[in-house]
Structure 1
Amino acid sequence: MTSLWYTLIKTIGYGGKKLKMTPKNVILITGCDSGLGHSLAMYCHSLNMTVISACHNVNSDGARLLRELDDSKRMLTIEVDLLKEETITHAYQYLTDMLHTNNEYQLTALVNNAGVMCFGEFEWQTEDQFEMQINVNVLGTMRLTKQLLPLLRYHRGRIINITSHCGLQALPALGPYAASKAALRFWNDSLRMEMRQYGVEVINFVPGSFVQYSNISARQQDHAKAMLDAFNDEQRQFYGDYFKQFNNYLTVISGFKPPNQFYDTSLLRKFNNALTSSVPQTMYIHEPWRYKVYRFLFCICPASIVDLLTVRFCAMPTYQQVMASLKR
């Protein structure tokens, strides 16, 4: 009966009491060089937590800003590249040593935020590009989590997996990325059921789109060049102008941005609930009303209509549009 009541209050979104965070509460967040990860690291530091900011590059501007932020030794930066097994092992050892050194520390949460994304139709993307997205977003996240599960189990910490709206509805030109986030979504659900019996909460956090404030697509033009270089003669002729206009459209999200550009108070309030509620929801979705309307329509419309709505939702150049404009 207790389990049924617990499930019911989670379903209706009742948050339970809030857990007070102190410097004894340790949180490890991946992908803290910029964007959401950087913002979450700063936010958790403001909650008085001890933050282990896992950065892809500990010499990045974002990592440097995080280190400069701290005057109380509560902001710690380590290097974690999810493509490199040795950095995952090092993160586990670093955290283990830290927890053993100070018995008062409590591993409160692991936030799996690090990810990579590459725009381009599936035929365009190279094997290296779609394998990278699967290896980082799915396999790297799984490897890190598996390493840390004994610690999370012992401390009854929680796992917050940052997924995406692409895990709820696939989008064109983001096939491998959507596949990786959908994989994370269902892995998250399975892990949640497994770990609940050990007192470990597993939460799916969908933050919405903020690619213009993140460096997740900073190398998009480099990716485009690699695609074009891999085209055969037929592909170059067929896609030609469309490929060029498609990637010109994406220049606005390309290039590296300052690491501390993203800050959304509404999103952080939801993250606070996911982190501190004694009875957190299983999924948090942060989105504007436009997203809500589209998601509702996606649920009730047949696939043919969903496809049309999805293309409109993306608002990106299409082959037909470019070809039609060239004939005018």
Structure 2
Amino acid sequence: MMKNQLWYTLLKTIGYRGKTLMMTPKNVILITGCDSGLGHSLALYCYSLNMTVISACHNVNSEGARLLRNDNDSQRMFTIEVDLLKEDTITYAFQYIKDFLLTNTEYQFTALVNNAGVMCFGEFEWQTSEQFEMQINVNVLGAMRLTKKLLPLIRQHRARIINITSHCGLQALPALSSYAASKAALRFWCDSLRIEMQQYGVDVINFVPGSFVQFSNISARQQEHAKVMFDAFSDEQRQFYSAYFRQFNNYLKVVSGFKSPNQFHDTILLDKFKAALTDSIPQAMYIHEPWRYKIYRFLFRFCPTPIVDLLTVRFCALPTYQNVLKRSLGNKK
């Protein structure tokens, strides 16, 4: 047993991924956050791989949930309602899968994909306690609650756990401090869980998908969040931040508002997700990123902190207080 474990560790160390596992309708996968964006696309993609897909939607009557039900074989595509802030819906998800597997004893629980998440742009001073607590509660604690509930089934079936994290978990970004904190926490929880679960034959994988905020609804309520922030400002904060806050949120209108659930299309990302799902010897982390991200991530790793800070501001390309102030002073001259 020890020799096999050492050999397996060596193969993973050199990046060997083994054979590709073949998926069939007897392979069951649960994916959270399937109303739109990446989760919706992953549900359809896993369905195309011939798997049985349990799509956990925040609202089972959403457009995305209806599309998943109506456009696919009802014997392989199921939608359930899961709100990661509500323990009863997490218990329901566990019981649903448990009953399904008891009824279909030849089926195998193959993977849990923790994809559901929320994001709120804004400097930390701007965000209300409800806003940053929501991001921590959904992105970290929600994934923990669901995973803990399902761990007996995951262990029994040696199912794979795939946690959708973020580049924000690799490098913290301004105006996303709470979101970055949640994704960094998710990443390190994922690493710890991977070490714990490998002795039971369970693989835990960190999947970093890159930025697709314009093609999902993760920031759909950004302008609503901005109004809540501004309403909570003191008189001093409104006077100090006024022009900057306004320009900052005008810039973000492009990512605000609800989009059609099937806007996300990235075949390269989906191929990498398939590798995370079907590599018989999976890697601990799969990263999907354009060359721009690769270059910045390389520089972030080796540059001194002051330079990293400057690069980070350039990477984000968001309005800054200083730029808005300079423009304002320039207009007055």
Partner of 1:170: 172
State the match for 1:212 in structure 2. 214
**Counterpart AA for 1:68:** N
- Secondary structure in 1 aligned to 2:200? coil
Q: Distance in 2 between matches of 1:174 and 1:234?
A: 23
Instruction: Give the C-alpha shift of residue 5 in structure 1.
Output: 2.5
Matched, 1:103 2:131: no
Which of residues 292, 301, 304 is equivalent to 1:302? 304
Mean Cα deviation higher: 2-11 or 30-39: 2-11
Distance 2:234 2:74 in 1: 56
1:126 maps to 128
1:27 to 22, 26, 29: 29
How far off its partner does 1:220 sit?
0.1
Q: CA RMSD in A?
A: 0.7
Counterpart among 44, 49, 52 of residue 51 in structure 2: 49
* Partner residue, 1:5: 7
After TM superposition, give the deviation of residue 8 of structure 1 in Å.
Answer: 2.5
1:65 aligns with 2:78: no
Which range moved further: 269-278 or 216-225? Answer: 269-278
Count of aligned pairs:
328
Counterpart for residue 275 of structure 1 = 277
Task: Tell me the equivalent position of 1:114.
Answer: 116
Q: Structure 2: 5+ residue runs without aligned partners?
A: none
Match for residue 180 of structure 1 among 182, 192, 204 = 182
What percentage of residue pairs aligned between the two structures are identical?
79
The whole-number CA distance in structure 2 between the counterparts of 1:125 and 1:12 is 44
> Which residue is equivalent to 1:284?
286
- Provide the rounded CA distance (Å) in 1 between the counterparts of 2:137 and 2:219: 17
Worse overlay, 208-217 or 64-73: 64-73
* Alpha-carbon separation, structure 2, partners of 1:135 and 1:299: 29
Distance 1:110 1:28 in 2: 5
- 1:2 Cα deviation after fit: 2.7
Deviation at 1:6, TM superposition (A): 1.5
Counterpart among 144, 147, 168 of residue 146 in structure 2: 144
Tell me the CA shift for residue 304 of structure 1.
Answer: 0.6
Q: Deviations for 1:264-315, whole angstroms, at most 9, x for unmatched residues?
A: 1111111111101110111000000000000000011011100000000000
- State the secondary structure of the residue aligned to 2:54: strand
Task: For 1:264, give the aligned amino acid.
Answer: D
Distance in 2 (CA, whole Å) between partners of 1:5 and 1:185 is 26
Moved more, 4-13 or 297-306: 4-13
TM superposition shift of 1:72: 4.8
Report the equivalent of 2:261: 259
Q: Deviations over 1:67-89 (max 9, x none)?
A: 01213510000000001111000
Give the residue type in structure 1 aligned to 2:7. W
1:15 CA displacement? 1.4
- 1:307-326 to structure 2, matched below 5 A, reads 307-326=309-328
Tell me which residue corresponds to 2:191.
189
Give CA-to-partner distance per residue, 1:127-165, whole Å, 9 cap, x none. 000000000000010000000000000001100000000
Q: Which amino acid aligns with 1:163?
A: T
Distance in 2 between the 1:266 and 1:13 partners?
19
